[in-house]
Amino acid sequence: MDKQTHRGTLEMVAAMLISGTIGWFVLLSGLPVLDVVFWRCVFGALTLLLVCALLGHLRLGLLSRVTLMLAVISGVAIVGNWLLLFASYSRASISIGTAVYNVQPFMLVILAALFLGEKLTLQKLAWLSISFLGMLAIVSAHGSAGQGGDDYLTGIAFALGAAFLYAVAALIIKKLKGVPPHLIALIQVSVGVLMLAPLADFTRLPQGQHTWSILLTLGLVHTGGMYVLLYGAIQKLPTALTGALSFIYPVAAIGVDWMAFDHQLSVLQWLGVAAILLAAAGMQQGWGLRIAGWPRLSR
């Protein structure tokens, strides 16, 4: 492994491990989800503004009116994605919310087929079917021991909504080739500040050093720092390796949920989580499927 790939791998692993702890910090804050996302955007914007200034990404001419508009729309989708995903944690647990959220690659495939004319192959449909079966397994845990009834289903719905909005944002970002990714991230979190400022509760600001340290960490580390590591890794690594390492995120989130909150999944839920992650990995890595009596499905 050459030095660039080695460094990119370390950056990607660090970014995914950081991402895996987001849910923990969100729940530890004890604040309404809207306030958590607002302060994450504020501190994330300040961090990314400094990063973009150091990298020389604040000069005129990098964005046209069209690319700026697309970046703003992607920001609306990303902020909506954060609101829904964070709201899912307290209802369905970090583990389940994160697992369900990982259906977003399939939503992106469907959106790309509908709007970009990309081919929807038998292989992709097969992996999509496996992911859907995993979803059914998770949803079937509704009402079982340790699950919060309607709240559980609401949490799953929120995670699905978050996945859809992420897929929309990713689809838009495909149109922003040539725009520095750190600048896109800065625009997105800045949009979040403007979107949520009218809704944030400034009459009851977060209290105590503990709460502010959590919000600062979410902004500086989980947003600014994570984006820098993630985009740095993407620039250094082949796509296949990037996709493979991205699955550290859900594994880390499930581990954190278990260690911090003692949330343990049922056997059926584990099967559902495994099916979704296997299907997402299979599609991203281009693995073929062989079904009895059928020819091998491939790209």
Residue-range domain boundaries for the chain: 3-201+208-285
From 169, 20, 160, select the one nearest 91 (Cα to Cα). Answer: 160
175 vs 284 pLDDT, higher one:
175
Locus of tokens 């559980």 = 152
For 37-50, write each residue's pLDDT tens digit.
999 999 999 999 99
In contact, 288 and 55? CB cutoff 8 Å: no
Q: Model-level pTM?
A: 0.87
Can you say how many angstroms the Cα of residue 215 is from the centroid of all Cα atoms in its chain?
Answer: 18
pLDDT score of 82: 97
Specify the long-range contacts of residues 142-149, CB closer than 8 Å, at least 24 apart: 144/266, 145/266, 146/263, 146/264, 146/266, 148/91, 148/92
Q: Would you place residue 141 in the very low, low, confident or very high pLDDT band (cuts 50, 70, 90)?
A: low
- Write out pLDDT tens, residues 77-107: 999 999 999 999 999 899 999 999 988 888 8
**pLDDT reported for residue 290:** 57
The DSSP result for 61-126, as a single string, is TS--HHHHHHHHHHHHHHHHHHHHHHHHHHHH-HHHHHHHHTTHHHHHHHHHHHHS-----HHHHH
Contact in structure between 155 and 93 (CB atoms under 8 Å) = yes
